[in-house]
């Protein structure tokens, strides 16, 4: 993941010797680290042995549920500090444990069924449609589908279940409320909300699930959800025993219905956390928080003292998704000479093949924008959603067409 490059760079700037470990050779963070090793982080024993060999005295990871789980497992075996031990982090990783925790805490969430192979119709009795399928413990959006009835769930079951080793999948009633991402940092047992973000999706009728096309920091509905969401975070932090570290939440909200939680996570959200630094005018940097939590936890409290989740500016991440195919041309994406553009990353160049297998690139391209004026940001978003293009050799458009939603959820 290219996201680890700023973390490694920040650690080196602070004078620490950096050792990057993952299962892929020549990844971007490895190229700038002091040392690097090709060891799969899922092999906790192997990485723990490596920690002993290189005399590592700290470990940090984030950005995905899988990596947070790996980090906790390795830390326990290597005798290193970590925000949560594996048995407590499990409540923020395993959807079955998480739903049970929500029930105990009285936290509302979309109606959910645990569905077994060969018992789909039986297990879905009483469930409303459309519904959303999810593997029991996968990461990202693998296996997430929006389906219209039990027959469609039966047809998709093997594909969804293939992303997990569990003997069941989860099926949730589709929630048509507005969607939000929230990142917080727990300090001495109390969550400090870093931001609430609007999580906007697009749908062109071809995809099996609407895709995230834009995330905006801060949300236009921050004041509507902040109090209720913070109370829920406090309950979760107490339940899992989190004293210091990240605690994030995806949730739905609609007027009159309140907050309904999709999931909580014991890590920072990937491919968007940079927006916090942009929108806070550099006041909050996630990489600093991750490193402080390992080597200088007292500094976290100082950094976040008086933090306002309404933020100084408005930042948006634009996410362009592609269809399978070989890219022949790329156009309509901005460079950083545009005064609103903070970063543009094109993941596929001419001659490269867009694919959607596990481990492939997460997007075709993404663009980060920032402005003090949300209206200006919206107008530039609309322009880029229209102009961005990746075509194959026959001129076929490979990008799924994004369409911006208003803060009320309408196009």
Q: Are residues 21 and 70 in the same domain?
A: yes
Strands 35-38 and 19-22 turn out to be parallel
Query: What's the confidence (pLDDT) of residue 206?
Result: 53
Position 164 scores a pLDDT of 85
User: What is the β-pairing status of strands 389-391 and 341-346?
Assistant: unpaired
User: Are residues 287 and 202 both part of a single domain?
Assistant: yes
Q: Is residue 344 part of a domain?
A: yes
Q: Is the dihedral of CA 357, 262, 44, 361 positive or negative?
A: positive
Name the average pLDDT for the chain: 93
Structure tokens at 58: 């700290």
Coil/strand/helix, residue 73: helix
Instruction: Assess whether pLDDT exceeds 80 at residue 410.
Output: no
pLDDT digits (tens, 9 = 90+) for 235-278: 999 999 999 999 999 999 999 999 999 999 999 998 999 999 99
CA 73 to chain CA centroid, Å, is: 20
**If we measure between CA atoms, which residue out of 326, 321, 313 comes closest to residue 278?**
313
Tally of domains within the chain: 4
Per-residue three-class SS string for 130-155: CEEEEECCCCCCCCCEEECCHHHHHH
Is residue 196 located within the same domain as residue 295?
Answer: yes
**Which range is most confident: 60-64, 314-318, 405-409?**
314-318
Are 277 and 363 in a shared domain? no
Residue 17 maps to a domain: yes
Residues 299 and 318 in one domain: no
Asked if 192 and 304 sit in the same domain, the reply is yes
Name the residue with tokens 């039966």.
154
Do 294 and 217 meet the contact criterion of CB atoms below 8 Å apart?
no
Contact 361, 334 (CB under 8 A): no
Per-residue confidence band for 1, with pLDDT thresholds at 50, 70 and 90 = low
Q: What is the mean pLDDT of residues 140-166?
A: 86
Q: Domain check: are 52 and 16 in the same one?
A: yes
pTM of the model: 0.91
| Domain identity same for 200 and 301 | yes
Question: Looking at the domain assignment, is residue 14 inside a domain?
Answer: yes
Q: What whole-number distance in Å separates Cα of residue 61 and Cα of residue 82?
A: 10
- Residue 328, token pair as written in the block: 């022949």
* Cα separation values, 363 from 25, 207, 255, 298, 317, Å: 21, 15, 32, 37, 12
Residue 30 maps to which CATH number? 3.40.50.20
Show which of 260, 276, 311 is a domain's final residue: 311
- Does 142 have pLDDT greater than 60? yes
Region 359-386 average pLDDT: 95
What are the pLDDT digits (tens) for 64-122? 899 999 999 999 999 999 999 999 999 999 888 999 999 999 999 999 999 999 999 99
Give the DSSP per-residue string, 76-130: HHHT---SS-HHHHGGGT-HHHHHHHHHHHT-----EEEEETT-HHHHTTT--SS
Residue where one domain finishes, among candidates 246, 280, 311: 311
Same domain, 331 and 274: no
- Domain identity same for 259 and 372: no
Do 156 and 75 lie in a common domain?
Answer: no
Q: Domain boundary at 284, 311, 338, which?
A: 311
Domain, as residue range, for 305: 175-311
Which two tokens mark 181? 């991402």
Distances (CA, A) of 35 to 22, 24, 45, 288: 12, 14, 19, 21
408: pLDDT strictly greater than 70: no
Task: Give the separation between CA 148 and CA 320, rounded to whole angstroms.
Answer: 26
The sign one gets for the Cα dihedral 341, 345, 351, 352 is negative
H/E stretch holding 387: helix 374-387
State yes or no: pLDDT of 317 exceeds 80: yes
Task: Round to whole Å and give the CA distance between 168 and 124.
Answer: 12
Contact 131, 174 (CB under 8 A): yes
Residue predicted with more confidence, 166 or 37: 37
Residues 32, 124 share a domain? no
CATH number for the domain including 229? Answer: 3.30.470.20
Rounded-to-10 torsion of CA 261, 84, 304, 288: -110
**Residues of the chain above pLDDT 70, percent:** 96
Among all chains, which residue has been given the structure tokens 């879905």? 124
Q: What is the pLDDT of residue 96?
A: 87
Band of pLDDT at residue 311, cut at 50, 70 and 90? very high
- If we measure between CA atoms, which residue out of 354, 296, 360 comes closest to residue 142? 360
The residue behind tokens 């990596």 is 67
């Amino acid at each position: 993941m290219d996201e680890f490059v700023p973390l490694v760079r920040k650690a080196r700037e602070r004078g620490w010797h950096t050792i990057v470990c993952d299962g892929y050779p020549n990844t971007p963070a490895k190229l700038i680290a002091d040392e690097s090793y090709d060891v799969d982080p899922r092999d906790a024993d192997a990485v723990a042995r490596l920690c002993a060999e290189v005399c590592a005295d700290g470990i940090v990871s984030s950005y995905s549920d899988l990596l947070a789980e790996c980090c906790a497992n390795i830390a326990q075996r290597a005798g290193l500090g970590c925000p949560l031990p594996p048995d407590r982090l499990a409540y923020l990783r395993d959807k079955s444990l998480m739903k049970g925790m929500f029930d105990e805490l009285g936290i509302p969430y979309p109606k959910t069924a645990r569905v077994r192979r060969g018992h789909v119709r039986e297990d879905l009795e009483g469930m409303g449609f459309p519904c959303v399928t999810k593997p029991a413990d996968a990461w990202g959006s693998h296996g997430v589908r929006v389906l219209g009835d039990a027959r469609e769930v039966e047809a998709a079951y093997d594909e969804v279940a293939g992303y997990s080793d569990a003997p069941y999948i989860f099926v949730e009633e589709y929630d048509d409320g507005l969607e939000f991402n929230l990142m917080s940092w727990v300090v001495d047992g109390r969550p400090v909300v870093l931001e609430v973000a609007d999580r906007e999706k697009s749908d062109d009728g071809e995809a099996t699930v609407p895709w995230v096309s834009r995330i905006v920091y801060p949300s236009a509905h921050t004041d509507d959800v902040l109090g209720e969401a913070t109370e829920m975070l406090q309950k979760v932090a107490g339940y899992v025993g989190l004293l210091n570290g990240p605690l994030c939440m995806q949730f739905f909200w609609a007027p009159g219905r309140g907050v309904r939680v999709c999931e909580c996570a014991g890590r920072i959200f990937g491919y968007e956390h940079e927006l916090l630094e942009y929108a806070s005018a550099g006041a909050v940097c996630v990489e600093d928080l991750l490193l402080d939590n390992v080597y200088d936890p007292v500094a976290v409290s100082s950094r976040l003292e008086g933090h306002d989740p309404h933020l100084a500016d408005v930042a948006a991440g634009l996410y362009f998704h592609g269809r399978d195919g070989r890219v022949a041309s790329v156009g309509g994406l901005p460079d950083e000479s545009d005064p609103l553009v903070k970063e543009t990353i094109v993941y596929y160049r001419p001659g490269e093949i867009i694919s959607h297998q596990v481990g492939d690139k997460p997007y075709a391209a993404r663009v980060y924008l920032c402005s003090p004026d949300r209206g200006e940001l919206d107008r530039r978003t609309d322009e880029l959603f229209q102009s961005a293009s990746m075509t194959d050799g026959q001129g076929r458009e490979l990008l799924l067409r994004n369409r911006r939603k208003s803060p009320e959820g309408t196009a």
